[in-house]
Amino acid sequence: MSDPSSSGPRAFRTLGIETSCDETAVAVLDADGSVRVNLVSSQVAAHAPYLGVVPEIAARHHLEALPRLLAAADGAVGLDSVELLAVTRGPGLIGSLLVGTSFAAAWAWARGLPLVGVDHLEGHLVSPFVALDGSPARPAPDRALVLVVSGGHSSYFLLEGGDPRPLNRTRDDAAGEIFDKLSAALGLGYPGGPVVDRLAEGGDPTAFRFTAPRIKDPRGALDFSFSGLKSAAIRLAVGLGPLPLADPATPPQAVLDLLASFRRTVSDWLLAPLDELVERLRPTVVATSGGVAANSELRRRLQAWGRSAGIEVVLPPLALTTDNAAMIARAGQLRAARGTLDDPLRLRAYPRAPWKAGADARGRPVFPALYWPMA
């Protein structure tokens, strides 16, 4: 008789590599998804003078930082026992992705290790279920509703049996992007989310009101649109006095009120589709991830929503909200368990999201699930 324990999916001790944007990250996870080491080298200081990420600078930084981080991971937990390599293939900055994918493919090939290419969003989707206290990763729930909010994405996904389906999208700017743009206009620096979040604590969130966008396409009724909010907030800021602020460390009270009202509006709009999605899709768990999932108001309100709705809300540890390699390693483990491995000699990086049901004729992602569960 066969041993039932050997018939389950194979689990691997995994090295994860993430270089899709402006953070170089390396992590090692045990086969059960517990995080042994999670290292991130931030490039924020290199990009701050430009108020955004400069692709060429990002790629060069990855090239320098990746060997350094791998040496540190080797010193901390040893890389000889690694059994699987997981690397972000896309979407992201192509030069940055090429550094990570070329490195991982060469490493896997030279050592004869299995390799799995992971979609960056797949990483964000599993990050709420990864812990940083040494405990095993939680198995992804059968039916989780996950709000992914970052500098590049603002979408609800249904994660069902490991298969992610996008449910809505932003018609223009991503939520993190408008935090960054407002911050830049005020002279508060980059990235904007953390500083706006902190200053908003000192303001009155009811001081300013913003008009919610109206999306006419009925199939996009649950879509987001944030560019109008960005423009309105910047216009109001201009009306409050000269920009950039003379003393960004201690903005006037009216600016704090504006930031608090802005932050309140972003979380209002992000949470607006929640009741309808839960009603239609009946998830067992609601989670959020991505850089904006570090936002203290969004976290508080989502937890309060969960208590009143009687649904479990899972928030990732703060260090796993922004880009990291632990989430990539975990997504790689789940892919490998489903038997999806990549040939190191054929691994291709891609700059744009190629969601399952594909891209449109011009290579732009389409969001099939808009039409699927909403029909």
**How big is the chain, counted in residues?**
375
For ligand KG4, the closer CB: 74 or 297: 297
Stretch that binds Zn ion, among 268-276, 304-312, 315-323, 326-334 (CB under 5 A): 315-323
Among 16, 117, 193, 283, indicate the residue that binds ligand KG4 (CB under 6 A). Answer: 193
Site for ligand KG4 in 280-309 (CB under 6 A): 290-292, 294-295
> From the CA atom positions of the chain, what is the Rg in Å?
21
| 180 binds ligand KG4 per the rule CB under 6 A | yes
Residue 90 binds ligand KG4 (CB under 6 A): no
* 236 and 182 Cβ atoms separated by less than 8 Å: no
Closest separation in Å from C-beta 77 to ligand KG4? 24
* Cα–Cα nearest to 186, from 203, 169, 171: 203
Q: Which of 38, 170, 261, 322 binds ligand KG4 (CB under 6 A)?
A: 322
192 binds ligand KG4, rule: CB under 6 A: yes
Phi, psi torsion values for 155, nearest 5 degrees: -150, 145
Beta-carbon contacts of residue 17 (< 8 Å; ≥ 6 apart): 25, 26, 66, 85, 86, 87, 88, 100, 103, 104, 325, 328
CB-nearer residue toward Zn ion: 261 or 288: 288
| Contact flag: residue 344 with ligand KG4 (CB under 6 A) | no
143 or 171, CB closer to ligand KG4? 171
Q: Residue 322 Cβ, how far from ligand KG4 at the closest point, in Å?
A: 3
Q: What is the rounded distance in angstroms from the CA atom of residue 326 to the CA atom of residue 33?
A: 9
- Give the per-residue SS3 of 312-359: EEECCCHHHCCCCCHHHHHHHHHHHHCCCCECCCCCCCCCCCCCCCCE
The CB-side HSE value for 76 (13 A sphere, CA atoms) comes to: 16
Q: Which does 192 bind (CB under 5 to 8 A by kind): Zn ion, ligand KG4, none?
A: ligand KG4
CB of 291 to ligand KG4, least distance (A): 2
Among 24, 38, 150, 155, which residue interacts with Zn ion (rule: CB under 5 A)? 150
> Are residues 154 and 270 in contact, defined by beta-carbon separation less than 8 angstroms?
yes
Choice from 281, 323, 329, 370 touching Zn ion (CB under 5 A): 323
Helices (H) then strands (E): counts for the chain: 12, 10
Q: Residue 180 binds what, of ligand KG4, Zn ion, none (CB under 5 to 8 Å, by partner type)?
A: ligand KG4
d(CA 356, CA 282): 23
Q: Say if CB 159 and CB 166 are below 8 A apart.
A: no
Nearer to Zn ion, 150 or 183 (CB): 150
* Contacting residue, 197, 223, 257, 342, with ligand KG4 by CB under 6 A: 197
Site string for Zn ion, 274-313 (x = CB under 5 A): ----------------------------------------
Backbone φ and ψ for 94, nearest 5 degrees, come out as -65, -40
Binding partner of 292, given ligand KG4, Zn ion, none, CB within 5-8 angstroms per partner class: ligand KG4
Whether 353 contacts 94, CB under 8 Å: no
Residues making contact with ligand KG4 (CB under 6 A): 21, 150-152, 176-177, 179-180, 191-194, 197, 290-292, 294-295, 322-323
Residues making contact with Zn ion (CB under 5 A): 150, 323
